[in-house]
Amino acid sequence: MGVKMEEIIIKNVKVFVTAPRNINLVIVKVETSEPDITGFGCATFTWRYKAVVTAIEEYLAPMLKGKSVHNTEDIWHTMMGSSYWRNGPVLNNAISGVDEALWDIKGKLANMPLYSLFGGKTRSGIALYRHADGNSIEEVEECISKYLEEGYRYIRCHMGLYGGNAGNVNQMIAKPEGAPDGAYFHPGKYRKSVVHLFERIRSDFGEDLELLHDVHERLSLADTINLAKDLEQFHLYFLEDALPPEQVDAFKMLREHTTIPLAMGELFTSPGEWKNVIQNYWIDYIRVHLSDIGGITPARKLADFCEMYQVKTAFHGPNDLSPIGMAAQMHLDTSIHNFGIQEYSGFTEEEKEVFPGCPVVRNGYAYLSDKAGIGVDFDEKAALKYPPVEMDFSWLFSRLPDGTAVRP
């Protein structure tokens, strides 16, 4: 391009919120002193997206203007340390948006897809798992059958989402007088329903299907151990988020009581949360959400750390993750040696319109394009067709039968 590396600086940092799937996505655009060189990153913390937007616009953008786009490591540490208090989902997502955009720029300057910058391909395709849910066993199995027809071989199964809220559980639970509104669930009934569900699935679909389940930190340690023991007979690919991040040391006891593979981490925001469970071999899969830990820069280091302890990746891939964020994860999936599985929620036609260049999926595998950088673009004009929406927060207000508020 005839431009010296040190002459390319950050000119502006912009933030966009769009909801092509009726889920608010936060996208960061880094503009540079070269008009043709821009980068995009995902900063989506959909449940607190306005706070992320403020953090970027009011704090990060002013301090980043004039910095070299090449000094990604220095910029990341500057962003992380400049608030003094650090490692929280709001600030980490803000940092991630910038970090991913800068890596997108690096790839474009090198004219390489990110996975090439990371060392190249270590696999030909990215194995995916999908979610099968329903209000009855029959509905769950219908969903499984649909995914099998589409070529998926790894399926996470629930009945009534997290905590087993199937069959209008709010009417089935005997609540005390004056109980507040909320998403009620019964831990004991949930445990029994999960075992019954997997008995039917194994009976109807056989042993070749790879099954997964997400406890979503809904149970006590004792109940979790009992559930894991009950599920061992079904040979799960992994059991996810069996305990909350605040109790990660309890994974030592869980590991001692079960042989079922354990996955953990979608709520992690700090190395202090994942260090012990990894280096003590208490988990088998790390499940972090890239933007919640601060983007690509820390995720690469985490993947390398996990490799030393035979822990594989299973990055968080919910529907409140933009296609840019999903593609960023998939560049790591493609290049790291210790990849395990990628959670995947699909792309709607509206998302493909706003985010040209989405990874393609065939027969249960995802494939990235060979475009430079992250490879997914952002159509600002199309994004305007899908403004921010008022989202349903009700599932986050979880309660036990007596009305006690608990983590969702």
216 in catalytic set: yes
User: Average pLDDT for residues 76-91, to the nearest whole number?
Assistant: 96
> Would you state the pLDDT for residue 5?
55
pLDDT at 1 over 50: no
pLDDT at 402 over 80: yes
> Would you state the pLDDT for residue 68?
96
Q: What are the residues facing 27 on neighbouring strands?
A: 16, 42
Pick the catalytic residue from 115, 162, 285, 386: 162
> Would you state the pLDDT for residue 172?
73
> Would you state the pLDDT for residue 390?
96
Count of residues making up the chain = 408
pLDDT at 408 over 90: no
> DSSP letters of 38-100?
EEEEE---GGGHHHHHHIIIIIIHHHHTT-BTT-HHHHHHHHHHTTSS---HHHHHHHHHHHH
Q: Does residue 245 come out as left (phi exceeding 0), alpha (psi in the -120 to 50 range) or beta?
A: alpha
Residue pair 401/369 in contact (Cβ under 8 Å)? The answer is no
| Better-predicted residue by pLDDT, 167 or 388 | 388
Render pLDDT for 142-162 as a digit per residue (tens, 0 to 9). Answer: 999 999 999 999 999 999 878
Measured in whole angstroms, the distance separating CA 370 from the mean position of its chain's CA atoms is 23
pLDDT at 43 over 80: yes
Q: Which CATH architecture has domain 5-112?
A: 2-Layer Sandwich (3.30)
Render pLDDT for 176-188 as a digit per residue (tens, 0 to 9). Answer: 999 999 989 999 9
Measured from the Cβ of residue 184, the count of other Cβ atoms closer than 10 Å reads 22
Structure tokens given for 288 = 């972090």
Residue pair 284/312 in contact (Cβ under 8 Å)? The answer is yes
pLDDT at 168 over 70: no
pLDDT at 200 over 70: yes
**Domains of the chain, residue spans:** 5-112, 116-372
Residue pair 336/307 in contact (Cβ under 8 Å)? The answer is yes
d(CA 318, CA 315): 10
User: Average pLDDT for residues 370-392, to the nearest whole number?
Assistant: 97
Bridging pattern class, strands 183-184 and 398-399: parallel
Structure tokens given for 75 = 């910029």
Pick the catalytic residue from 131, 216, 289, 331: 216
For 171-305, where are the E strands, in sequence order? Answer: 183-184, 210-214, 238-240, 262-264, 285-286
Mean pLDDT, rounded, of the chain? 95
Residue pair 216/396 in contact (Cβ under 8 Å)? The answer is no
User: Average pLDDT for residues 381-390, to the nearest whole number?
Assistant: 98
d(CA 371, CA 198): 41
Bridging pattern class, strands 238-240 and 25-32: unpaired
d(CA 241, CA 98): 28
Best CATH choice for the domain 116-372 from the list 3.30.300.20, 2.130.10.10, 3.20.20.120, 3.40.50.300: 3.20.20.120
Residue bearing tokens 């991630």? 96
Tell me the pTM: 0.95
The continuous run of DSSP H or E covering 16 comes out as strand 10-18
> Would you state the pLDDT for residue 166?
54
Render pLDDT for 274-295 as a digit per residue (tens, 0 to 9). Answer: 999 999 999 999 999 999 999 9
Give me the percent of the chain exceeding a pLDDT of 90.
93
d(CA 66, CA 153): 48
> Would you state the pLDDT for residue 167?
53
Give me the percent of the chain exceeding a pLDDT of 70.
97
289 in catalytic set: no
Render pLDDT for 10-34 as a digit per residue (tens, 0 to 9). Answer: 999 999 999 999 999 999 999 999 9
pLDDT at 259 over 80: yes
